[in-house]
């Protein structure tokens, strides 16, 4: 693992750090209060400056991408929100079969897939239509059915919180799991990731484009595509459940939520469980984060009462002074 010191950022303008910035329009739920401080670094040096500013002022740090998998408190975030604006993509052809594609943290998954197809590269199209940036996707080890982003990532560059140094890391460093990576420890922040993908023929690209279109159509028919965080609760782990289906543990949280009848029915204020999917809560217009929490807690109560198991969030909860859900 290599370590690099990045450019001394002492001369960067102070106005790169903003104060009292609304987060309402910076997340998919369209809820939440203001950030005490806010930075949108466009370079690694500016990112380092934001981290040093946080350390000097003893501020909590939260990284924000598209805000597709988070719920922000109505009281906002009493620290610094860092929303990196690092958007570069590049690729290197290794041989007649393999290509390395590097994407910076703020590149969206759809942008990356579009880039790959443009340059006759395949592999990531199974993640088509899933909102979020590369930073968020690596953070959560993006998954869709049997596909995991960790199956493609081979290396990355991360910024260490304490030292503000850039580290070159490999796949093993992330300790990937279901909905998990080392980034959850909040001691490192992704700058860019490199994926090992495949060169494709004209016919293979045509198929991949068709496959992408079908996946997006399928997702649109099954899931709401705005004013939601996607799946609010994670699936259960094997040890958390006892119900069997075809001799396998029934770990899918949506199964239990379907059984209790909340889909398209349970509502508080403008927060409502989607009619398309029982594990997705939608802001119908003027919901607050507290409305969404109320719906989520009711879902927890109902599942626990019916099955004796407690759903836990996949959605990240940001800025809450006390944990707002049931444990």
**89-222, what's its fold?**
3.30.465
For residue 5, pLDDT over 60 is answered with no
The residue whose two tokens read 């399928």 is 218
Residue 145 has a pLDDT of 85
Considering Cα of 211, then 212, then 217, then 222, what sign does the dihedral take? positive
Asked whether this chain's domains 3-82 and 89-222 adopt the same fold, the reply is no
pLDDT category of residue 161 using cuts at 50, 70 and 90: very high
Residues in the chain: 327
Cβ–Cβ < 8 Å for 98, 196: yes
The residue ranges of every structural domain in the chain are: 3-82, 89-222, 238-318
For residue 13, pLDDT over 90 is answered with no
Residue 313 has a pLDDT of 97
CATH 3.90.78.10 for domain 238-318: yes
Average confidence score pLDDT of the chain = 94
Query: What is the DSSP secondary structure assignment for residue 5, as one 8-state letter?
Result: P
The Cβ-side half-sphere exposure at 112, using a 13 Å CA radius, reads: 35
Residue 250 has a pLDDT of 97
Per-residue buried b or exposed e for 282-313, using 16+ beta carbons within 10 Å of the residue's own CB: bbeeebbbbbbbbbbebbbebbeeebebebbb
Distance CA 155, CA 174 (A): 9
> What percent of the chain has pLDDT above 90?
91
* Tens digits of residue pLDDT in 100-146: 999 999 999 999 999 999 999 999 999 999 999 999 999 999 998 88
Average pLDDT over every residue of 6-12? 45
Q: Which of 93, 65, 90, 61 is nearest to 77 (CA)?
A: 61
Residue 15 has a pLDDT of 56
| 25 φ, ψ (degrees, to nearest 5) | -95, 15
* Tens digits of residue pLDDT in 243-293: 999 999 999 999 999 999 999 999 999 999 999 999 999 999 999 999 999
Q: Residue 21: beta bridge partners?
A: 35
Which one is the CATH code of 3-82: 3.40.50.620, 3.40.50.11540, 3.30.43.10, 3.40.50.720?
3.30.43.10
């Amino acid at each position: 693992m290599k370590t690099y010191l990045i450019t001394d950022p002492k001369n960067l303008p102070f106005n790169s750090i903003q104060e009292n910035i609304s987060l309402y329009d910076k997340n998919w739920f369209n809820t939440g209060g203001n950030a005490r401080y806010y930075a949108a670094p466009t370079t690694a040096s500016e990112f380092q400056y934001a981290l040093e500013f946080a350390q000097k002022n003893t501020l909590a740090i939260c990284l924000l991408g598209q805000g597709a998998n988070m719920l922000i408190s109505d009281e906002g975030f009493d620290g610094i929100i860092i929303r990196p604006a690092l958007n570069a993509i590049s690729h290197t052809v290794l041989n007649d079969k393999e290509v390395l594609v590097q994407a910076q943290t703020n590149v969206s998954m759809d942008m990356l897939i579009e880039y790959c197809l443009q340059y006759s590269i395949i592999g990531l199209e199974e993640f088509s239509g899933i909102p979020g940036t590369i930073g968020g996707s690596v953070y959560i080890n993006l998954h869709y059915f049997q596909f995991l982003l960790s199956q493609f990532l081979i290396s990355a560059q991360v910024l260490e919180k304490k030292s503000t140094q850039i580290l070159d890391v490999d796949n093993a460093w992330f300790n990937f799991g279901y909905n998990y990576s080392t980034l959850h420890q909040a001691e490192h922040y992704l700058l860019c990731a490199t994926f090992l993908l495949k060169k494709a023929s004209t016919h293979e690209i045509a198929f991949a484009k068709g496959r992408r279109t079908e996946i997006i159509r399928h997702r649109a028919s099954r899931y709401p595509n705005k004013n939601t965080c996607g799946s609010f609760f994670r699936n259960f782990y094997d040890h958390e459940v006892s119900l069997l289906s075809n001799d396998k543990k029934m770990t899918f949280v949506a199964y239990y939520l379907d059984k209790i009848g909340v889909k398209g029915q349970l509502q508080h204020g403008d927060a409502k469980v989607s009619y398309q999917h029982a594990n997705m809560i939608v802001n119908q217009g003027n919901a607050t984060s507290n409305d969404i929490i109320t719906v989520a807690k009711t879902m927890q109560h109902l599942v626990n009462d019916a099955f004796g198991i407690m759903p836990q969030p996949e959605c990240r909860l940001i800025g809450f002074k006390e944990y707002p859900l049931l444990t």
